[in-house]
Structure 1
Amino acid sequence: MSERCRTRLVFLLSFVRACGCFGLCLLTSLSARADVDFYRDVYPILKANCLSCHNKTITEAGLNLESPETIRGGGDSGPAMVPGKSIASLIVHAATQTGDVVMPPENNKAGAVKLTPAEMGLLVAWIDEGAKSSVRQTEQIVWQPLPAGIHPIYTVAVTRDARWAACGRANQLFLYDLATRRLQTRLVDPSLLPAKGALSGGTAHRDLVQSIAFSPDGSRMASGSFREVKIWKQAAAVTPRTSPLLPDATMSALTPDGRLFIAADSEGTLHVLDAVTGSTLRVIPDVKPAAKSVLCVSPDSASIAVCTAGATIGIWNLTTGERTGTIADPHGARAFVWSRDGGAIVIAGDDNVVRIWKTSATDSATPRELSGAKAPITTLVTAVNPDRVIAAGEDGNSHVWNLEDGKLLQTVKIPSASALAVSRDGKILAAGSPPGQVRLFDLATGQQIVELTGDADSQARQAGLSWDLGARQLDAAYHKKELARIAAENKVLEEVLKKARETIATVEKTLPEKEKAAATAAEAKQSAQTAVDALATQLAAMPEAALDKQHKEALKKLESATTQAAVAEAYLTSARHHIQDARGEEQSATAAQVRNAESIKAETEAVAASQTAIDQVQASLTALKKEISERKLRPLAVCFSADGATIAAAYDNGELRVWGIPSATPLLHIPGSGPATSANIVSPRDGLFVSRLADGSLIEINTTPNWELERVIGGDSAAPVFADRVNALRFSPDGRTLAVGSGEPSRSGDVSLWEVESGSQIANWTDRHRDAVLGLDFSPDGRLLASGAADKMAVVTDIATGRQMHAFEGHTHHVMGVSFRPDGRMLATAGADGVVLVWDMLLGERKKKIEGWTKEVTSLQFMGPGANVLTSAGDQRIRIVTDEGGEVRSMAKLPEFMQSAASDALGQIIVGGGEDGVLRVWDGTNGKELAVFAAP
């Protein structure tokens, strides 16, 4: 046995005698093992039991145990260990609890426990072998599948325009379309697909999704998990398909599958073009459509029907270009449409009669006639379940007939309907009418369901103005509050001045008397002193009892005179001090009044400026609403999406509008490119429209655009970019910067900034917090970044300089979230201590403590442009309070612990999620539940 091992055994034997905790098995294994490696063998022991209190951030007693170098450096009590001499090392005595220092202490908050005999053996062996340094190997994570049934929602987010909501469930990321109130997609990282080429089964992250944030414009979304951030980008919703196709065409049509575009030129020739490439596939000559005719394509996209100049309706095969049928039309076709099965053509004549012609009919065939219309028919549409025909008349009545027996089923009042469409399931009728609205009707009852108005651009403008108005009103309220505060302060100052001046006047009246009394007392004292001095001189020259008696009596008189003089002087001094103090208060109060007068002037001007701005914004809102109401647009075509979730309309000014049906929300707007007399819109598949613009070009409108993984920051790189879980994400107001909050629990709190476009790091602050960062928010001007962490602190950093501006300490537990008020003057923080604190950013101090939660407040956000704060909490509530503490609304008695809540820019939509994995959507204005999305 080597001398080193013998020394070690001697120590361990003595240690066994002292502690009684080692056995022969341990001693034998230690004598036989290879050199102990610090990072392989010792570091895991220290990490589990010591590093929570002794690390680079939290250095209790000045001791950092993270590396051999810092252990050698020691702390307040000197070196923690002596290389080669474990028996003389402080860390060993502390860990064995045989010295003055006992580690870990009993009932510690970190949950650290006493080292086991095997762990002590490794520590002792490492020190006795010289406490050598070693190379720290990057921890290789071995990923395991998450257990089935793990689906809590820890984070939610919603876009500023309330279009998209996202939540994380386990390691999956779900995106919901709030306009259609449907699951849009489950985002998947292609590298995490279970097998190459697989189309399903992948995930967004390997570990739980801890944080989500949308960019201000809603085009990007960031998600955070263990040691990584992923940025997802939304594809374009509108895609040009072709350049202008036959811009001089007299009429045109798209096949329902969106693959072919058919147009008639002025010579009466039909051109069949590929609707994707724009190339001409075939030409059908000598068709000669009638002047008022339209082209009508069969439901299977195989044939086209044309009302020709010869008072017939001709049918052509689009693949071969051959004419396959002719229907006589002596009554003049005002409108016509194919039946949904393609077996008939329905024609509305000039005589107000609707006729049904079999597509195999000849000139001598007799059609079925549908009567009941009292006025010329403007447009027709067919429906299924059962097969029906709907015709809109100029008298404002729309008639519904059964296609099979010709029975009139009902009449629906639809004023001035210029375009009709029916959902594919045959349940909903859409009617477009001037001045531009689209109404939806339940075909079973004939009752109107909803009216769709406005467009996405106008809505965005109106939302922007509404936000601006709210922000201006918040600003005005702040300045009015300041005026009220100054007015109250001035009242106090008036009282101070009044009392000071009264004091000065009162004391000044008594001052001459006190001065005279003091002078008289001083003279009496001096006379008494003179008498004492004279008698003392006589007594010294001729000591006699009589003189001694006189001297003693003179001394008593001097003592009395001295006391009276001191009292009189004290009264005089006190009076002068009273006057001096009162004049000081008078000067301070007067100076404060002067300052307040200046502040009142400034605040009054600010209120006036805010009111002027409010008036201007209100005028702009009024003008916009008037502009919208005065638009006189005639819908030329309406079309349901294949899934019935959205609807598109084309107008006579060439513009296109798309709405989400369940929410009646405008989704997309294509401005008009010029006057139009006809329009083509088809929906080949769910969420997709293909339309021809007025200039002849074709576009695709995807109401459910794809979201693709754009970039990964961190992940399985050799050197971890983020220490642990990414708990917080926030885009800057301009969308160019992404703030990331992470950190190793109980050891570090990291805040970093990243450039969104390039993915490069801009800044990294590891000294802001001592524990994991849980919340982030940018100030409205983008100059400041607030961070909240498990160290109970909220910190505000100046981004340009990296300087810490404020460190707010007030919570007694984790700070779970932070949010700036829209004017940047206040910061709200949510605590696991069940309170919300509001901090004054101008004064740098706490303004308000808001209570009322019985468990952790897990998230918070200022709602809209005002002072309302949206919170989620473990007490099964989504709660809205003002920053003054008043409760606005509470969505209570939810099934589970709520982990996160978020709202759109105007506070009109709220989403929240919690432990039950259900994403809930509420109307932010009244608390009504709008949708519930359970875990798939």
Structure 2
Amino acid sequence: MTRLRWPKTFATLVSLLAYWLSFSLAPVPLVDADDAVNNLADQKVEFSTHVLPILQQNCLACHSASEAEGDLNLESVASVQNGSASGPVVTAGKGDESLLWKLAAHLDEPVMPPADNTVGAKRLSDQQLAVLRKWIEQGANHDVEPSSIASPIQWQPVAADRLPIYASAISPEGRYVAAGRGSQIDIRHVGSQEKTQPLIDPSISSRWKLPPAADVDVIQSLAFSPDGQWLASGGFRTIKLWHKTFATTPALRDLGALSTDDFPMKAYDATFQRMLMLDASRQVTIVSLPSNARHDNVTTLPMCQQIAVTGSHLFAQTGDRTLRHFDTETWQPRASIDTSGSITAMTAARGANKLYLAAACDDGKIMIWQWPVPTDASGQDLLANEPYEFGQAQVISHDKGKVSQLTLVLLQQLPDEQPRIATVHDGGGLRLWKLADGSLEREVAVSMSRAERLAEGERKVTLAQQDVAGAEEDKKTAEEALKAEGEAIKTAEEELKQAKAKIAEVTKERDERKQDADTKQKASDENEQQISQLTKERDSAQAALSAASEADDRAALEKNVNDAMAKLQEKEKVREELKKGVVEAKKKLEESEKSLSQAQQDRDASAKLVERSKAAQEAADTTLKERMAALETIKGKLEATQQQQQQLVAAPPSDDDAIIAIGCYCVGDGRIVALRRDGQLEIYGADGTAWERHASPLRSGPVFFVDQQHVIGFDDQQHAADVEMLAHWELAHTIGDPDDTTSLVDRVIALDFSADSRMLASGGGEPSRSGELKIWQMPQSTQTSGDERSGPSLLHTINDAHSDTVLSVAFSPDSGQLATGSADRMCKTFDVASGQFLRAFEGHTHYVQSVGWRADGRRLVTSGGDKAVKVWNPATGQQVNSTSDWSKEIASVAFLGVQDRLAVASGSGQVLTMNPDGKDRKGFNGGDGPFLHTLDATRNGEDVVAAGEDRVIRIWTKDGKIKAEFPPAP
């Protein structure tokens, strides 16, 4: 999986941009703003040629797609015509009335650019204002887009010794590591630490006349496919797909057709100067190489059952079970010994100062002889010149069964040679023995392919167990949710009950207060009626008194007035009290009405809450049932996976897995090759560690190295074939073109393959302008052709995925989702099948540098420029963990294998592993080193690779031990 390959600090960014401008892109000069107005006269003013340079110098810093203050973007005619938040800014044909010109001329507020701006923008000169006004008066029309009138990029050679490593990747099984060094891709075989053949795109030289390289630009991103067969590299507007291959050619020395029936046994000398073969009659035939001269039937030799040759020494077991040593120059015998048993396999080798012979007997024992080798002044071997005694053999006894193949492993660069012997037994498996004490150093019980299948089976079992654990946790969560909803229903029903009781209580109070208010209102009304009646009586009495004559009884009339006045006054005295009582009673009644209304609302709300809680309970019950069913399904998958693994473990090795020949290369670190019956070639280190395997046309032995990279064996027609031991990568397909924005708009910063290696995701975009995200279908073939179906095809362009450059992409383990990190500070997920947006993960305050999935797909990790590592639940978008106690940016982060553990590379130069919560940190180095830009890990999480500013590729084991270091070439 590719992690982000992008500068981590502003200073680094500036230096890189300066480098790119100086060495990669020949700069295309802009038109000077003042020069744009010269000699216009009556000619047409063009936006791209005359207006845009003025705006670029003084306006675009605040009014572009990435920074559109006031919603005004002045980058193109179309965006200018879209206007701003205040409305249109240009009125075609009316320059003096256009807001854009008036603000630029400082004739309206706010003046532009403002005097206190922080981007160095200057007020437009009179000439520049004239250009702007004339363009508007001429219609403010389109001419051509700047991108289409730009001069072709003039590429220059990229000096790899000036740039850090921005991209690195390690193959899923950990056999190869790749890193970008400028425009070159440096691939190393981890076991041998050898550099593979250079990755060359022929068009670099043929089209751009540049030195051979993988790309014209700096390598931005790298990713190995999960099947290990592809390496994808990202450059400027291009993605290149390199296919893993092993060269197989006819042997440089044509041995002709050598029938197994005619020659059932072959031996060769270590210098590959001649081959000795036993024919069907057990006579020795010699083929001199490379002349191919054949000397049939060396009649001086007896009939042989087994032969081994090294240099001028031939060892043979004859029919009488005697082991003999012959000088191959004179064919004279020099020594012999009775073996008292048949030899099933034999090998000889010349060390730096000793001659070794190993013979496997039919009783299972291995006998080893070794002799000092005297030489004359010229270095000529003198051992075979005179007869001598074989001497006592070292015997390795074991219970591993009959030995069918063996070879000596001599590392000549070591003072004591530390010889080993590699054996193959009838029971299968490769074993490595120490000759010093006869101990078994390493046993390779199964073929590499079977070991890989077993390991992958164990991985699937572990993931299935994690799925069960996750499903059980999901079930537990659903049970808790169902229980919580049940409690919520009880609470809601109790609240409803209380609300109903409250209504009854408030209703009773309301009714009582209403009755009281009605009674008081009635009393007040009756008092008002009496006052009205008494007022009439008083007025009548007063009228009668006024109308009385001298003769009438005025005293009686006055008494009537006074009596009426007294009664009226008495009623008026209680009038205010009665009214006040009515007001207070009505106020209390109103309060009761409000309380009743609120109680009714509470009752209705409680009733709805009960309904919602019951619906939620039903939903929770459905979810629980679904999760219970899912758990049973996942348990079934676990059981099936475990059964498959058990069957795989119990299955006996197939005949195709049998080793039919082994060989050894004893120069340098040494290596062992094993040929299996199905043609699989397996390469092991001298200590027996697995290095590489691949299919070959070879079907019979012997197999022998002609150099550290090539081995020769025989196909099913007994023709010799030269097979490359370690892989190299050849360019199979290229997506995009540096001079065309159709496929890819800018540098490809991020790459990742789907789990089945059938899809490739790419991320990039124009910095501060767009985030480009695409998903590609991988090619059906490694061969380029005129048929487009043979090459990669575009599955999805996810438009508007991000508002800024996409810096990291990662497929989920099931390839159903694609996670992205961007310079817009966002992490997002998308549905791979449809390309639809799924979820945004908000929380980072700076660009999101790296994204990665846990192997079970239940967690997502991000890191970035805000010095934070965050772990998310991708199903809900919730942040699970966050650590922010880092001194510098976190360049890259990844989950290790199937573990819930993270590997982290930071700007401080530190590589470490930790739990998702930031605890149990184990540093691989001391930190405070060169800035690290990239990190990757093997599929099983056993190895971690990181690289950065010091241009050294380092590989650690998961426990922090350095495994390999690859510094830049001196």
Question: How do 1:498-517 residues align onto structure 2 when only pairs under 5 Å count?
Answer: 498-500=490-492, 503=495, 515-517=507-509
Number of aligned residue pairs: 857
- Kept in 2, the 8 Å contact 1:355–1:368? The answer is yes
**Pair 1:790 & 2:781 matched:** no
In structure 2, list runs of 5 or more residues that go unmatched. 1-31, 374-382, 384-388, 536-567, 780-790
2:404 to 397, 403, 418: 418
What letter corresponds to residue 814 of structure 1 in structure 2?
Answer: Y
Bigger drift between 123-132 and 740-749 goes to 123-132
- State which of 749, 753, 768 in structure 2 corresponds to 1:746: 768
Deviations 1:671-705 (A, max 9, x none): 999xx9x7322233433333335675766543323
Distance 1:324 1:413, change over 3 A: closer
The answer to whether the aligner puts 1:429 opposite 2:414 as a matched pair is no
Name the counterpart of 2:545.
none
Deviation of 1:217 (Å): 2.3
CA separation of 1:304 and 1:747: change in aligned 2, threshold 3 A = closer
| Structure (1 or 2) with the larger CA radius of gyration | 2
Q: Does 1:540 find its partner at 2:532?
A: yes
How much does 1:584 deviate? 4.5
CA contact (8 A) 1:379 1:418 kept: no
1:347 aligns with 2:316: yes
1:380 aligns with 2:347: yes
Cα deviation for residue 810 of structure 1 reads 2.7
SS of the aligned residue for 1:556 comes to: helix
Q: CA deviation at 1:441?
A: 4.7
**Distance change in 2, residues 1:90/1:557 (3 Å):** closer
| Cα separation, 2, equivalents of 1:914 and 1:929 | 16
1:856 aligns with 2:860: no
Residue 24 (structure 2) aligns with = none
2:563 aligns with none
Q: Which amino acid aligns with 2:745?
A: A
Q: Pick the aligned partner of 2:430 from 438, 446, 457.
A: 438
2:461 corresponds to which of 464, 469, 475: 469
Output aligned runs, 1:454-853, within 5 Å. 454-493=446-485, 495-500=487-492, 503=495, 515-543=507-535, 544-566=568-590, 581-627=605-651, 635-641=659-665, 646-650=671-675, 656-661=680-685, 664-665=689-690, 667-668=692-693, 679-692=701-714, 701-717=723-739, 721-757=743-779, 758-844=791-877, 846-853=879-886
Q: What secondary structure, in the 3-state scheme, does the structure 2 residue paired with 1:795 have?
A: strand
Native 8 Å contact 2:304 2:319 kept in 1: yes
| Aligned residue type for 2:294 | G
Distance 1:752 1:719 in 2: 14
Write the distance in 2 (CA, Å) between the matches of 1:602 and 1:888: 38
Q: Secondary structure at the match of 1:917?
A: coil
Amino acid in structure 2 at the alignment position of 1:599: T
Counterpart in the other structure of 2:266: 295
User: Residue in 2 aligned with 1:39?
Assistant: 48
> CA-to-partner distance for each residue in 1:300-346, whole Å, 9 max, x for gaps?
555444567999756565734344854444xx74532122x2x2212
Show the 5 A alignment for 1:192-211.
192-193=204-205, 202-211=212-221
Deviation at 1:611, TM superposition (A): 2.3
Q: Distance in 2 between the 1:889 and 1:616 partners?
A: 36
Shift of 1:64: 2.3
- The amino acid across from 2:821 in the alignment is G
Secondary structure of the 2:177 match is strand
Is the Cα contact below 8 Å between 1:154 and 1:168 reproduced in 2? yes
* Alpha-carbon separation, structure 2, partners of 1:210 and 1:774: 10
Larger mean CA deviation between 33-42 and 896-905 belongs to 33-42
The residue type paired with residue 210 of structure 1 is: Q
CA 1:828 to 1:654, structure 2 compared with 1: closer, same or farther past 3 Å? closer
SS at match of 2:195: strand
How far did residue 98 of structure 1 move? 7.6
Alignment of 1:308-327 (within 5 A): 315=286, 319-323=292-296, 325-327=298-300
Distance 1:881-1:608 versus aligned 2 partners, 3 A rule: farther
Task: Say what the alpha-carbon RMSD is for the aligned residues.
Answer: 4.3
Q: Which residue of 1 aligns with 2:933?
A: 899
**Cα gap change, 1:798 to 1:597, in 2 (>3 Å):** closer
Query: In 2 relative to 1, CA 515–104 (structure 1 residues): closer, same or farther, beyond 3 Å?
Result: same
Q: In the alignment, which of 334, 338, 347 is matched to residue 367 of structure 1? A: 334
Distance 1:705 1:196, change over 3 A: farther
Distance in 2 separating the partners of 1:519 and 1:908: 81
Q: CA deviation at 1:565?
A: 3.8
Cα 1:355–1:195 shift into 2, 3 Å: farther
Q: Deviations over 1:209-257 (max 9, x none)?
A: 111122332222221122222222223x38596xxxxxxxxxxxxx9x6
TM-score by length of 1: 0.80
Does residue 225 of structure 2 align to residue 215 of structure 1? Answer: yes
- Residue 133 of structure 1 deviates from its aligned partner by 5.0
Q: Which amino acid aligns with 1:260?
A: L
SS at match of 2:911: strand
Deviation at 1:546, TM superposition (A): 0.8
Report the Cα distance in structure 1 between the residues aligned to 2:870 and 2:657, rounded to whole angstroms.
52
- Is the contact between residue 228 and residue 726 of structure 1 (CA under 8 Å) also seen in structure 2? yes
Moved more, 876-885 or 212-221: 876-885
**Maintained 8 Å contact 1:316/1:324:** no
Q: For each residue in 1:577-627, what CA deviation from the matched residue of structure 2 results, as whole angstroms up to 9, or x when unmatched? A: 555555544444444333323322322232232223222212322332233
Q: Would the aligned equivalents of 2:848 and 2:864 in 1 still touch at CA under 8 Å? A: yes
Match of 2:121 in 1: 114
Cα distance change on mapping 1:646 and 1:194 into 2, 3 Å: farther
User: Structure 1 CA distance, aligned partners of 2:885 and 2:280?
Assistant: 78
Give the Cα–Cα distance (whole angstroms) in 1 for the partners of residues 257 and 33 of structure 2. Answer: 88
Whole-angstrom CA distance in 2 between matches of 1:769 and 1:704: 41
Distance across 1 between alignment mates of 2:280 and 2:317: 16
| Corresponding residue SS for 2:935 | strand
1:905 to partner: Cα distance: 2.6
Q: Secondary structure at the match of 1:686?
A: coil
Shift of 1:649: 2.1
CA 769–356 in structure 1, closer or farther in 2 if over 3 Å, else same? same
Give the structure 2 partner of residue 338 of structure 1.
309
Q: Distance in 1 between matches of 2:504 and 2:237?
A: 82
Partner of 1:921: 955
Report how far residue 719 of structure 1 moved. 5.3
Question: 1:670/1:189 Cα in 2 relative to 1: closer, same or farther (>3 Å)?
Answer: closer
Cα distance in 1 for partners of 2:35, 2:198 equals: 56
Kindly indicate whether residue 179 of structure 2 is the aligned counterpart of residue 167 of structure 1: yes
Contact 1:645/1:687 (<8 A) preserved? no
Deviation of the 1:40 alpha carbon: 4.2
Letter in 2 for 1:75: S
Looking at structure 1, the residues matched to 393 and 273 of structure 2 have their Cα atoms a distance apart, in angstroms, of 32
* 51-60 or 722-731, which deviates more: 51-60
Decide whether the 8 Å contact of 1:313 with 1:328 is kept in 2: yes
Do 1:383 and 1:422's aligned partners in 2 also have CA atoms closer than 8 Å?
no
Partner AA of 1:594 in structure 2? E
The TM-score, its normalising length taken from structure 2, stands at 0.77
Aligned equivalents of 1:692 and 1:614: distance in 2? 44
Q: Distance in 1 between matches of 2:124 and 2:679?
A: 80
CA contact (8 A) 1:222 1:232 kept: yes
Instruction: Give the drift of 1:385.
Output: 0.9
1:346 and 1:356 in contact (8 A); partners too? yes
SS in 2 for 1:230: strand
Q: Find the aligned partners of 1:855 and 1:746 in 2 and give their Cα distance.
A: 22
Aligned position for 1:358: 327
